[in-house]
Amino acid sequence: MEQQKKIGCYICTGCGIGDALDLKALKAIATKEQKIPVVKDHALLCGAEGVAMIQQDLAEGTVNAVIVAACSHREKAAEFRFDIDLMDRVDLRDKCLWMLDVKEGDETAEEDRQMMAEDYLRLGCVKIKKMNIPDPFLHSEGSKDVLVVGGGLAGLTAARDIARAGYNAVIIEKSDVLGGKMNAMHKVTPDNQPPYREMGENFIGALISEVENDNRIKIFKNATVTKTSGQPGQFDLIINNASSTKEIRVGSIVVATGFDLYDPSKLPANLGHGTSPDVITSADFEKMAKEGKILRKSDGQPAKRVAFALCAGQRDKEHLDYCSGACCIYSMKQAMYVIDQYGEDASTYLLYQEIRTPGQMEDFYRSAQDKGAVFIKGDVAGVSGNAKGGVSVKVHDHLIRNNETLDVDLLVLATGMVSTVDTLDPNAPSPVGTGRDELPGSILNLQYRQGPSLPRLGAAGFPDSHFICFPYETRRTGIYVAGPARRPMGIAATMTDASGAALKAIQAVEAVSHGVAVHPRSGDLSYPSYRPEGCTQCKRCTEECPFGAINEDDKGNPLFNPARCRRCSTCMGACPQKIISFANYSVDMISSMIKEIEIPEEDEEKPRILIFACTNDAVPALDMVGRNRSPISPYVRIIPLRCMGSLSLVWIADAMSKGFDGVMLMGCKHGDDYQCHNVRGSALAEIRLSKVSETLQRLKLESNRVKMVEVNIMDADTLPNAISDFVEQISNLNPNPYKGF
């Protein structure tokens, strides 16, 4: 959207800014050098008078684009939230004043501080000059309905909450009944309501009734999804329902398919499964309890002495290397069944590695102890038949470091939860052209270039989410996973999880209806555009997009799905032709900012180090460095990037050609336990940097002038040393020979 820019630059002189910096020189940078028509200052810009000054200029039409030169963009966000599309924050306080150790009367240090502030003001001016007003992508025929796949506890809870919020929900259930595995439960562990010491009655019937009688919820039983195409707001699905097909459109999707239990036939031999009918699984025991009689399987006699082997095949690299979270509580509940049925004649033993009772479930643990359940920290060393019936369980007790034998009527194995969501190995080749429409077992059958399924988080097979900041997210925008389908969890956690996913699904359809991003750049109106005549069909954008936002046409040209896009700009950094950009973020913008920074002459002996910092982790960490008043080198200049995935190697070449002595990249932690908000951004940046040595060699420069470090948001204590070490390393090299050119 073209609009004549009327830029206003507003400088705050509070928080010591006016005392430490030469305000007249700063204003000259904005007016004379950068040609900003409106430049004003205020002693408390975030106060009522300062904000009113800016709002008045906006209301009168004097300005329509704003630069606020004050503190970090993470501070005073509410105060500086104006109804405009073009705005930028210049951080003079946190990343300049607070980061530099300047003693009164030290003219050199004062000069360095002023130079840093002036450079940051230049960056802000150039950035907003290069910004264009984004033209949001709006659906012409979008939907705000939410599809819920799965009619168990998580699916029913999500659908109920979606309807309560005033939106329509569609439930797809593959079987002929709702309720899932809850239908097989005798009683339930405490949910989200106190008291937490007692078992509760199974409430699934009441929940089913509530959902079935809600006119905002449509239910398809005996149904599966055979095709999902489109994007948030326009997900078009084909549903196979009782040998017929139906096409529907929804705005977002919640996958709540529950869990499967680990196959007990694969358990270690020492647990004895298959050696005796009196060695059963928790699911077998639950069924028995629901039928009303807890008996030995071998001869039908009362099972008064029962041992429960927790972590059966779990936290074991050969089987399940994770904890299922709910098995301890589930086994305590089953021990209470025995105690309630047989009273003083009952003996129950829970054999555990560690007891895990998250949240209020600690009260339930105490209740099981009070009722007489015996907890033994130990391993099942072996199981053998007992002449009197039942089995003899050899236990290695870790506390008394001794072996003992328990003669019990039943040994119950608490097998773990496994994912029901079909997932793709992110390291596997993309299944292009493999007939993905007919892939058996796929829940959604996505029509994405990257394949029909959701990407996988690690070897466990659960769908990937940003487990730190966005727990319900998948790498497919608008598709959320809830309950044990996302990760193992119990009843209380499942209900909370389903409510969270429902709210995220609603947030997605509302955001898309306004043409804005949902996460992590919530509210961003931009989306990628490209010049098709410059495309070489290299496929790097389609391959590297972490979220499957780009398909391809028959000729191999990229097909952007704007509503899938999370605005990370990885595609922009991937494109070797520089033809992908965003209205408010582009290769040219960052290149222009780099070229605007003042580089001292070689004889001034003031090196310049450029830091590209990820806005998600590195920038907040740097803010905390400033807040801690931890000094860093005055020779660095920081340019925030949306994500390290947006890094273009052009920027490295520009920096070196400009005369920067070194370039440091601060990206998120990557690998199996990645912390990148955009999944692969920092990993892709590192891959690209592996190719930068060729560029440096062409410029006759040392390869160690460029370095990448992983930065956690909590690394404020170590960042100053990391920066100092790099500055020292660069200082030991000869100055960049391109200075002054």
Instruction: Write the pLDDT tens digit of every residue in 617-633.
Output: 999 999 999 999 999 99
Q: Give percent of the chain above pLDDT 70.
A: 96
- The C-alpha atoms of residue 312 and residue 308 are separated, in whole angstroms, by 9
Q: Answer whether residue 575 shows pLDDT above 90.
A: yes
**Per-residue pLDDT at 438:** 34
Higher-confidence residue of 359 and 42: namely: 42
Mean pLDDT value of segment 707-722: 93
| Whether the Cβ atoms of residue 473 and residue 458 lie closer than 8 Å to each other | no
Mean pLDDT value of segment 90-109: 94
**Per-residue pLDDT at 429:** 42
Mean pLDDT value of segment 540-557: 92
- The C-alpha atoms of residue 586 and residue 581 are separated, in whole angstroms, by 5
> What is the dihedral angle through the alpha carbons of 48, 53, 56, 57, rounded to the nearest 10 degrees?
-150
Phi, psi of 709 (to 5 degrees): -130, 145
- The C-alpha atoms of residue 252 and residue 607 are separated, in whole angstroms, by 51
The alpha helices in 313-353, defined as continuous H runs, are 327-342
**Per-residue pLDDT at 459:** 74
- The C-alpha atoms of residue 480 and residue 474 are separated, in whole angstroms, by 6
What one-character DSSP code corresponds to residue 29? Answer: I
Q: Determine if the peptide bond prior to 426 is cis (ω within 30°).
A: no
Give domain limits for the chain: 1-133, 146-258+420-513, 262-416, 586-741
pLDDT band at 285, cuts 50/70/90? very high
- The C-alpha atoms of residue 452 and residue 598 are separated, in whole angstroms, by 50
**Per-residue pLDDT at 425:** 61
What predicted TM-score, i.e. pTM, was given to this entire model?
A: 0.92
- The C-alpha atoms of residue 163 and residue 167 are separated, in whole angstroms, by 5
User: What mean pLDDT is reported for the chain?
Assistant: 92
Mean pLDDT value of segment 578-583: 96
Query: Coil, helix or strand for 734?
Result: coil
Mean pLDDT value of segment 680-699: 86
Q: Answer whether residue 3 shows pLDDT above 70.
A: no
Domain 262-416: give its CATH architecture.
3-Layer(bba) Sandwich (3.50)
Tell me the Ramachandran region of residue 185: left when phi exceeds 0, alpha when psi lies from -120 to 50, beta otherwise: beta
| Whether the Cβ atoms of residue 633 and residue 687 lie closer than 8 Å to each other | no
Who contacts 579 (Cβ-Cβ below 8 Å, separation ≥6)? 530, 531, 534, 535
**Per-residue pLDDT at 529:** 94
DSSP per residue, 146-201 = EEEE--SHHHHHHHHHHHHTT--EEEE-SSSSSSGGGGG-SEE---SSS--SS-EE
**Per-residue pLDDT at 242:** 80
Q: Answer whether residue 437 shows pLDDT above 60.
A: no
**Per-residue pLDDT at 450:** 87
- The C-alpha atoms of residue 449 and residue 39 are separated, in whole angstroms, by 49
**Per-residue pLDDT at 701:** 86
**Per-residue pLDDT at 617:** 92
Phi, psi of 281 (to 5 degrees): -95, 170
User: What value, to the nearest 5°, has the Cα angle with vertex 702 and ends 700 and 703?
Assistant: 115
Mean pLDDT value of segment 567-593: 96
Q: Answer whether residue 430 shows pLDDT above 60.
A: no
| Nearest alpha-carbon partner for 637 in 590, 699, 601, 676 | 590
Class of domain 1-133: alpha beta
pLDDT band at 467, cuts 50/70/90? low
Mean pLDDT value of segment 441-450: 88
Mean pLDDT value of segment 46-63: 96
| Whether the Cβ atoms of residue 448 and residue 551 lie closer than 8 Å to each other | yes
Mean pLDDT value of segment 272-283: 95
| Whether the Cβ atoms of residue 11 and residue 40 lie closer than 8 Å to each other | yes
Domains 1-133 and 586-741 share a fold: yes
For the stretch 240-252, pLDDT in tens is 988 799 999 999 9
- The C-alpha atoms of residue 599 and residue 64 are separated, in whole angstroms, by 31
Q: Answer whether residue 304 shows pLDDT above 90.
A: yes
Q: Answer whether residue 434 shows pLDDT above 50.
A: no
Higher-confidence residue of 127 and 470: namely: 127
| Whether the Cβ atoms of residue 701 and residue 656 lie closer than 8 Å to each other | yes
Instruction: Write the CATH number of the domain with boundaries 586-741.
Output: 3.40.50
**Per-residue pLDDT at 436:** 31
**Per-residue pLDDT at 644:** 95
pLDDT band at 472, cuts 50/70/90? confident
Higher-confidence residue of 47 and 358: namely: 47
- The C-alpha atoms of residue 148 and residue 444 are separated, in whole angstroms, by 11
**Per-residue pLDDT at 695:** 76
Q: Answer whether residue 427 shows pLDDT above 70.
A: no
Q: What is the number of helices (H) and of strands (E) in the chain? A: 18, 34
Who contacts 500 (Cβ-Cβ below 8 Å, separation ≥6)? 471, 472, 482
Q: Answer whether residue 439 shows pLDDT above 60.
A: no
For the stretch 186-241, pLDDT in tens is 999 987 677 889 999 999 999 999 999 999 999 999 999 999 999 999 999 999 98
What one-character DSSP code corresponds to residue 61? Answer: T
Task: Place domain 146-258+420-513 in its CATH homologous superfamily.
Answer: FAD/NAD(P)-binding domain (3.50.50.60)
Q: Determine if the peptide bond prior to 607 is cis (ω within 30°).
A: no
Who contacts 577 (Cβ-Cβ below 8 Å, separation ≥6)? 534, 535, 536, 538
| Whether the Cβ atoms of residue 313 and residue 416 lie closer than 8 Å to each other | yes
